[in-house]
Chains A and B, each alone.
Chain A
């Protein structure tokens, strides 16, 4: 579930977990009615944004909590907790306190705690938000491969479009409390249904369709910044901004009064601010959106 803050994705997650009750409509989890059912009667476990590890318990007791309240014996639940900790590569950390762990380790404990009970659905509320970039990318890959190997349904909330596109089988784009589009990552990226989706996922150039020569008057077109290339035979634009990003250089362009963003490879000789440049694009990369202007 991808969307800007305040778009309703966390509320949606909390509805699935059972922390909130719907005021209208109903909720089904694998075909079973869930509205009106308290959280402790749902076979759904959550990895909280701030991890929500119990500070008065050690790691093992945290992970074994759901088994303890089910009435499982001490030895058995500790064995299960140890297995879950192995799964997240924290074997032997059982006796530590949550406070003694790093952010990434806490994250793994929270994950082990949510998995130990073998739930039908695992809910993850921006679980990587507090981690630094390097660790975040590593955890993304680990989470993804763990999800694949366990074959569990993960519902993952994030406001980071990279994270959503790279991790999800299906992405739901949220805005203003509504799902704007649901589809595979490629669907969402290649064929956004609205100006909002095009702009939010991948900061596309949203321009009137006839301006890019795609016909379809009265519709909006989406042209990805990386699809705009410097082309000596192309159209003339004025460079209004130039930002070096390492891998690419981001150019802000003025194209017949429309602002365009282009990402050109860093090795290309990018024009400077104030200069004019010639640009072009492959017409097949222009996507016309259903939404009217």
Chain B
């Protein structure tokens, strides 16, 4: 052999690094438990005090009640406030909101799946970048701007009406708006309009988790299904959907809970009937009924808990 001489007489162990900081870092690296402890410490403090603490305060509030004559909160344990939730008017609010959240989640999942599948399986390099930008772009602009923009789009004088008129399809739009409950005078004052705007603003929160879960499904599994005689429909039903279900559930947690808690969209686009978020807003604001507002806030938490429990029972997280 010729060339550089690689034989060495340097020590096998280097001298410890000088300085207190370097010494501390070296010590922590040698003690993995301490390292993990330091990693989770800040978030634990934050969650424990700011988040869980606030949640408990909220829960406690919901067990108080308001004195109907003086309007003063009575600091005594009672279930009276929860009883109020079951009055027909409040129950309607809850049902209306849950139905809307469910409809938005289902529609978002159906819309998101094809685009997420494209991104996970076929998009490479710059197409993938384009996908991420396309999905994220709407999130970069203000939520309010988007909602007001939609109000203009959906209004009677808006572009959608104009397009339908130009296509001589006004009869179709009128027929849709004539449907009881979800219809109305124009799209911007109907539940259909509220639904469309919710769907638009929450769609990215569905696409990203579905795409992430599809990315984790090896392409060979889909090929194996086809190889074993599964038609595309069967591949989807027996292989792709069960394996992507955790992503769909994750996405629906976003779309469902965000819809449950929102109070701006239904105020700007839709009719005057309240959603849970608006109920909370009025109860804690104008009505000054903090306990009822707190009780209303507990509703989405309970519903999400039931939803996740059901999803788990159905095996949605088995593939995790």
Contact = CB atoms under 8 A, between A and B. Distances in A.
Interface stretch (B34-42, B157-165, B230-238): B230-238
A31 B239 CA distance: 32
**Of listed B226, B243, B318, residue having the most chain A CB within 10 A:** B226
A56 B318 CA distance: 7
A69 B228 contact: yes
A117 interface: yes
Contacts of B226: 18-19, 38-40
B7 interface: no
**Of listed A48, A56, A68, residue having the most chain B CB within 10 A:** A56
Interface string B217-229: 0101101111111
A178 B73 CA distance: 85
Interface residues of B, number: 20
Interface in A25-53: 38-40, 44-46, 48-50, 52
B230 A52 contact: no
A38 B223 CA distance: 11
A105 to B, nearest CB: 17
A68 B237 CA distance: 12
The list of the 9 closest CB pairs from A to B, nearest first, reads A66-B228, A52-B220, A52-B224, A39-B226, A69-B230, A56-B319, A46-B227, A69-B234, A40-B226
B319 A50 contact: no
Interface residues of A toward B: which range?
20 to 34
B288 interface: no
A40 B230 contact: yes
Contact of A117 (B223, B229, B239, B319): B229
**Of listed B218, B220, B228, B229, residue having the most chain A CB within 10 A:** B228
A65 B225 contact: yes
Contacts of B243: 55-56
A39 B226 CA distance: 6
B138 interface: no
Interface string A165-176: 000000000000
A224 interface: no
Contacts of A17: 223, 227
B223 A19 contact: yes
B220 A65 contact: no
Contact of B228 (A38, A55, A117): A117
Contacts of A117: 228-229
Contacts of B229: 40, 66, 69-70, 117
A78 interface: no
B228 A113 contact: yes
B319 A45 contact: no
Interface of B: 218, 220-221, 223-231, 234, 238-239, 242-243, 315, 318-319
Contacts of A44: 227
A245 B76 CA distance: 87
Contacts of B315: 56
Nearest to A70: B229
A276 B220 CA distance: 55
B238 A50 contact: no
A48 B224 contact: yes
A52 B319 contact: no
**Of listed A38, A45, A49, A52, residue having the most chain B CB within 10 A:** A52
A54 B231 contact: no
A38 B228 CA distance: 11
A50 B218 contact: yes
A130 B230 CA distance: 27
A65 B237 CA distance: 12
B224 A46 contact: yes
B224 A54 contact: yes
Contacts of A69: 225, 228-231, 234, 238
B223 A52 contact: yes
Contacts of B227: 17-19, 39-40, 44-46
Nearest to B231: A40
Nearest to A116: B228
A55 B224 CA distance: 12
A65 B228 contact: yes
A39 B239 contact: no
A38 B227 CA distance: 9
Contacts of A48: 220, 223-224
Contacts of B238: 65, 68-69
A38 B243 CA distance: 23
B228 A45 contact: yes
Nearest to A39: B226
B246 to A, nearest CB: 10
**Of listed A18, A46, A65, residue having the most chain B CB within 10 A:** A65
Contacts of A54: 221, 224-225, 239
A265 to B, nearest CB: 30
Nearest to B217: A55
Contacts of A46: 223-224, 227
Nearest to A44: B227
20 contacts: A18-B226, A18-B227, A19-B226, A39-B223, A40-B227, A40-B228, A40-B230, A46-B223, A46-B224, A46-B227, A49-B220, A52-B221, A55-B243, A55-B319, A65-B225, A65-B228, A69-B225, A69-B230, A69-B234, A69-B238
